[in-house]
Structure 1
Amino acid sequence: MSGQTRLLENRWNDAYAATLDEPGKLLYRSNLLGADKRITNYGGGNTSAKVLETDPLTGDKVRVLWVKGSGGDVGTIKLDGFATLYLDKLEALKNLYKGVEDEDRMVGFLPHCTFNLNPRAASIDTPLHGFVPYTHVDHMHPDAIIAIAASRNSRELTKQIFGEEIGWLPWRRPGFQLGLDLEAFVKANPNAKGVVLESHGLFTWDNDAKACYALTLAIINKAIEWFARETEGKTIFGGAVAQSLPQAERRAIAAKLMPEIRGRIGRDERKLGHFDDQDAVLEFVNSAELKPLGALGTSCPDHFLRTKIRPLILDFDPAKPDVDAVIGALDQALDDYRVDYSRYYEACRHDNSPAMRDPNPVIFLVPGVGMFSFARDKATARIAGEFYVNAINVMRGASTVSDYQGLLEQEAFDIEYWLLEEAKLQRMPKPKSLAGRVALVTGGAGGIGRATAARLMGEGACVVLADIDGGALEETKAGFEKSFGKEVVRGVLLDVTSEDGVTAAFTQACLEFGGIDILVSNAGIASAAPVEETTLDMWNKSIDILATGYFLVSREAFRLFRRQRLGGNVVFVASKNGLASSPNASAYCTAKAAEIHLARCLALEGAEAGIRVNTVNPDAVLRGSKIWNGEWREQRAASSKIEVTELEEHYRKRSLLKLNVLPEDIAEAIYFLASDASAKSTGNIINVDAGNAQSFTR
């Protein structure tokens, strides 16, 4: 309903499907449906098939319900993501059911119906699939259908669009009773092919997997075509009252606002941000009906579970763009939102409701600019934004052909604070030590930079890799995307000696993640020559990269940390040579000594704001290091009067512990200093050199 009238394409491949068994066809159908966000959003909806299986105990053939398991996503699900239940045992639960007050108790019986010891938990929607007397069932959340379901006269619209083909059921929270309602509807309407659930979504069914898939597409396409005809030439959202700023200006404003928001909502739990300025978002935030529709809240349960019931709309006039005024009003706007959320909680809570959760908004809407979404990790923030785009599309359709209606607050609360939902949240794994934190690593494509980024991402951090070598940067980023996923890593081409380049890198990081918590200043260069042969160019280049570059990225980090007011963490990667001089390397040693002293100065300045600054001093980290390639390796070998191939062993033997130092060893020290494990340390130096008496700190 974003104005696009492109119909869904049937992508079923008969030749491929012919190679699949029934569970395989269910998986195939599910992945096809979930691949298009116009059909269902991430984690939304579910699919099922009733399959004849061999009972492992009796050897008899039994009917088994395969249904998407709790918390799964149909677009990415694998076979092990489906719960499997004896259908006869599921049917037998009807004898135990005592009415709607018994809903939660019935969920506890679902594990007793498990087929073949399948560990995948069955979802609350299992009865909805099990009790529909068809082999294949799809439950989707298409924007075009929910726009009908969320309209004031949704029953009449359903009848007008689909006739007797698709029925309608009034709003009811998903669960056992809704499964019984669906079963009763099918028995009373044997020719119906599906049903629209008020304020919820679409159910369709068939006895053939391919036919069920095609039916689901056909029903959604029928709704898309109907909306295209009905909305043509009509004013959308009451018309525009604001104009979008140019893209570059929108993104500059977003990069400035997001850290300010993040700092105010992330004091108890760090948040990561996502920015979206697609056309559908801009149409809504620029419209006359932005505030009245936003206040009504979302309709589909999946929407507000991700987005909270309503967004925070920031007062901003793109015709007179005063970002500082928005920042100045943020505290009051957030206080007002929290007060209203507390009112909602207190007005709707039950005696056994879970304690109130984070009262901060998830979705922020800014006229002329776009939408920010914040959550405990990047993927969840992005998905929350996607869900609100779905909500926008629903409001667009419903408000154009009828009156949009959100769920009543009590209904919304009863789902948001459902005890079963709370139990699911309590089962979630404990966050990793750097969850919700963002690190920018300069020299990120080198050996120490790569090892550091991997260590930080392994502990839950998002990482911005900054490097001057574009090819190495892309290769490194691509490798991390495969290992950790695309959500958590970004790359930015950066020359740390460029003041504008440094500012742009931090701006990009704020736009991508909402801010930065950790700076690892690691960009490096090495040089070696007797002082009388040290050129001014060599001297200046060393100072520019290793001193000035460290100053520039630190200054930008301090500016950002102070705006966020969440503290901050700076780790310098210096060198043993910053403490212990070496012959024929005066430019390098001097610059590294400057780094160490700069870190100490910054530790003094940052302490009152909770900004910690510490240093790691590596020595002789040859493996994977770009600065040890070429002349530096040759020069250090010549200085020690050994062959290049002997250098690594030479350094090992030179150390007190007789050990080689690897990039992963440096990364471990950096992680310690970047984490809360060192929360009471600042201005410190950790030598990771396998022991060198000359560089003992004094």
Structure 2
Amino acid sequence: MLKTVEDQLLDNRWDEAEAAGKSESELLLYRSNILGSDMRVTNYGGGNTSAKVMEKDPLTGEEVEVLWVKGSGGDIGSIKMDGFATLYMEKLEALKGLYRGVEFEDEMVGYLPHCTFNLNSRAASIDTPLHAYVPRKHVDHVHADAIIAIAASKNSKELTQEIFGDKIGWLPWKKPGYELGLWLNKFCVENPDADGVVLESHGLFTWADTAKDCYDMTIEVINTATKWLAEKSASVPAFGGAKYDALPPEERRAVAARLMPAIRGFVSGNQHMVGHFNDSDAVLEFVNAQNMEPLAALGTSCPDHFLRTKIRPFVVDFDPSAKNLDAVLEGLPEQIAAYREDYAAYYERCKHDNSPAMRDPNAVVYLVPGVGMITFAKDKATARISGEFYVNAINVMRGASSVSEYVGLPEQEAFDIEYWLLEEAKLQRMPKPKSLAGRIALVTGGAGGIGSATAERYLSEGACVMLADINEDSLKATKDNLVQRFGKDVVRTVAMNVTDEAAVVAAFADTAVEFGGADILVSNAGIASSAPVEETSLALWNKNMDILSTGYFLVSREAFKLMRVQDIGGAVIFVASKNGLAASPNASAYCTAKASEIHLARCLALEGAEAGIRVNVVNPDAVLRGSKIWEGEWLDQRASTYGTDKEGLEEMYRKRSMLKRSVLPEDIAEAAYFFAADTSAKSTGNIINVDAGNVQAFTR
């Protein structure tokens, strides 16, 4: 939300001490990273930077001019040296002689590999000519919200002149590509004193002859626009003023928890999708505004915004004052069907003879008055980033509509970018999704050896994981380890006692808000006790039954509720025990509770089959390493039962097994992965023993 001008202005992050001694290419990297570190400068993956550097030709040994430019698909905030494409400037200049006109400009991308310097494998992007043909050493191209607000205004040319005079020029909308590169070249030749140009509905180009001067110019131009916008819009109500009041935070999350699984079920027809919820101040200001719906219908302007957020968002028919959520959920199928029909009509109106087939007709962005914004994509990071791009679009619409009239991309131009053959080729080059891509798992006992190993296995196959455990310290340590290895987007935690009904319900609601729903439940929370029956107290008996039977019932019931709302199937995996099938001395409470688990799984397999919910059991035995239940009294009691010490217990179990092998948490995780993956899509009501062989536990 806009506050004071000082709050909005960018800091100049150039550090002379850090920049000292760097080569021209290293200064390009430094400049790129500090520009990309601020989302107000450019969004994730958006914009690009370049430098023209003298290099020694590896064949001739002569000094040649080389263009270093951000490679295709990179992000300037996180780019490394190997993220830049390098091309001979002499060869890039020679391409002008091969250009056959705007209708053939896409073929110029095929020539770029022939300009590669030093066998660099990094692919050059479509924006390479835009940098090559600006006759200055350093060039920045960014998508700052303040600049795009000017660029997306109805009278953007006049506003650019008013703000910058002749210092910054203006060019009309043109799809990125070779022709736009020639336009930039022509502008620079005709305006040698200009320091940059605003591209209508697109963004900003700035240039200079040193890396620092180029960076300084970019920051200065953005701050000039930011200050001008803030002063001009200070007395103008954003988006026409408020229409609704935002619900309190807990109510917003409660609405999202019910909406997101329902939407997810509809949008996961081709592949499982993951959701992201954003109720930031900027989002709430927009979704609650009088002019939200007409502005949203215009779509976004900047091509980078559009590619991430689709032609337009989906406005959920929710009234926060009436709290009509039940009616919204009932009407959701019809509203989603209408959006799909509208998208299909857009495709039919705009398609060309060689256009790719229509893609997923579902929305990416869902705006909910009083609540916030929901985004869905193939993975959590993409869903989050898509939401961030739409926040950029909100900022643009706020600025443009405050000082002029906001203008989205013309429909045909938007289509030509969305279904651009070059973009289609990029999509076709994407690696095949991992086996659990888009799947969401909740793992109870997630901080223990089996739970954390299972979470790791799922994460390695592309899943998102909610770790649930009663031990908050262990939960944090497990999360920190997994986040370091798999990233913060895909791991969440919730403190949960499986015997607490309210806590279980809340954990599934949290999972729905954080990821959009749930596909996999691994019920793994456990304890163990050992005592002769005559020494087994009622409290000990009840504790085993509460955690190992009632707890498994509670988490399964909530998983079933969520999976039925989504209506895309699911997998429930119980981590039971060999003791659920084979009697064991001095463990009647534990064995009986584990047998209850196994029979509960059978019952649930019957109930879940018609909804595609599979329920299966993994039966471990003697998993000592990393297991919480082998700490304290249980370890002492089992060692006493079998007449050995703590150190000898694992060896005793190994020798007792038929295969004479130790059973590790990773072995249980592999079985839990099998039951979660599509390789077991036709399996339900089954038990896999992972016990190194125990004849008493053979199922009959």
> TM-score, normalized by length of structure 1?
0.99
Which residue identity lines up with residue 10 of structure 2 in the other structure?
A: L
Whether the 8 Å contact between 1:656 and 1:691 is mirrored in structure 2 is yes
Q: What amino acid sits opposite 1:336 in the alignment? A: A
- Cα deviation, residue 269, structure 1: 1.2
- % of aligned pairs identical? 70
Partner of 1:158: 160
Paired residues of 1:575 and 1:618 also in contact (CA < 8 A): yes
Letter in 2 for 1:584: N
3-state SS of 1:429 partner: coil
Secondary structure class of the residue paired with 2:239: coil
1:106 paired residue number: 108
Within 5 Å, give how 1:266-277 maps onto structure 2: 266-277=268-279
Check if 1:662 corresponds to 2:667. Answer: no
Deviation sequence 1:31-71 (CA, Å, 0-9, x none): 10111111000000000001111111111111110000000
Q: Give every structure 1 segment of 4 or more consecutive aligned residues whose post-TM-superposition deviation is greater than 4 Å.
A: 1-4
Q: Which amino acid aligns with 1:475?
A: A
Partner deviation per Cα, 1:102-160 (whole Å, 9 max, x = no partner): 11110000000001111000000000000001111000000000000000000000000
C-alpha distance in 2 between matches for 1:4 and 1:470 = 40
Distance 1:233 1:292 in 2: 22
Paired AA for residue 90 in structure 1: L
Q: Which amino acid aligns with 2:180?
A: L
Alpha-carbon distance, 1:4 to partner: 5.8
Q: Which of the numbers 252, 255, 258 marks the counterpart of 1:253?
A: 255
Per-residue CA deviations over 1:561-607 (Å, capped at 9, x if unaligned) read: 11111111100000000000100001100100000000001001111
Q: Who is 1:385 aligned against?
A: 387
8 Å Cα contact 1:617/1:686 also seen in 2: yes
Question: Take 2:330 and 2:596, find their aligned partners in 1: how far apart are those partners?
Answer: 38
Equivalent residue for 2:18? Answer: 16
* Match among 176, 182, 185 for residue 184 of structure 2: 182
The partner residue of 1:673 within 672, 675, 681 is: 675
Alignment match, 1:232: 234
For the Cα contact (< 8 Å) 1:576–1:689, is it kept in 2? yes
Query: What aligned pairs does 1:541-580 form with structure 2 within 5 A after superposition?
Result: 541-580=543-582
Following the alignment from structure 1 to structure 2, what is the Cα–Cα distance between the partners of residues 375 and 621? 38
Aligned to 1:636: 638
Three-state SS of the structure 2 residue aligned to 1:85 is strand
Partner secondary structure for residue 572 of structure 1: strand
Q: Distance in 1 between matches of 2:257 and 2:200?
A: 39
2:480 match: 478
Question: Unpaired runs of 5+ in structure 2?
Answer: none
CA contact (8 A) 1:467 1:494 kept: yes
> 1:431 Cα deviation (Å)?
0.4
Aligned partner (choices 516, 539, 542) of residue 541 of structure 2: 539
CA distance in structure 2 between the aligned counterparts of 1:301 and 1:16, rounded to whole angstroms: 34
Q: Does 1:301 align with 2:303?
A: yes
Q: CA deviation at 1:3?
A: 4.8
Counterpart CA distance in 1 for 2:279 and 2:647 is: 54
Pairwise CA distance, 1:2: 4.4
Which ranges of structure 1 fall in alignment gaps of 5 or more residues?
Answer: none
Please give the secondary structure, in 2, of the residue aligned with 1:151: coil
- The separation in 1 between residues aligned to 2:315 and 2:646, in whole angstroms, is 63
Give the match for residue 454 of structure 1: 456
1:302 and 1:431 map into 2 onto residues whose CA distance is: 23
Aligned residue number for residue 627 of structure 1:
629
2:90 maps to which residue?
A: 88
Distance across 2 between alignment mates of 1:55 and 1:657: 63
Q: Any conservation in 2 of the 1:502–1:552 contact (CA below 8 Å)? A: yes
Instruction: Find the counterpart in structure 2 of residue 437 from structure 1.
Output: 439
Q: Does 2:330 align with 1:337? A: no
> CA offsets, 1:446-476, max 9 Å, x none?
0000110000011110000000010000000
Paired residue for 1:323, among 322, 325, 335?
A: 325
d(CA) in 1 for partners of 2:275 and 2:49?
31
Distance 2:489 2:234 in 1: 37
Match of 1:29 in 2: 31
1:2, 1:396 within 8 Å by CA — same for their partners in 2?
Answer: no
Q: Tell me the CA shift for residue 393 of structure 1.
A: 0.6
User: For the residues of structure 2 that align with 1:188 and 1:261, how far apart are their CA atoms?
Assistant: 53
Quote the RMSD (CA, aligned, Å).
0.8
Q: Kindly provide the amino acid, as one letter, of the partner of residue 342 in structure 1.
A: A
**Per-residue deviation, 1:290:** 1.0
Distance 1:19 1:614 in 2: 61
CA distance in 2, matches of 1:36, 1:659: 53
Q: Could you say which residue in structure 2 is the equivalent of 1:73?
A: 75
Establish whether residue 196 from structure 1 lines up as the match of residue 198 from structure 2: yes
Q: Name the counterpart of 1:512.
A: 514
* CA deviation after TM superposition for structure 1 residue 309, in Å: 1.3
Per-residue Cα deviation, 1:368-397 (whole angstroms, up to 9, x for no partner): 111000000000000000000111111111
Deviation at 1:19, TM superposition (A): 2.8
Q: Which amino acid aligns with 1:501?
A: A
> 1:593 and 1:177 mapped to 2: Cα distance?
71
The alignment covers a number of residue pairs equal to 698
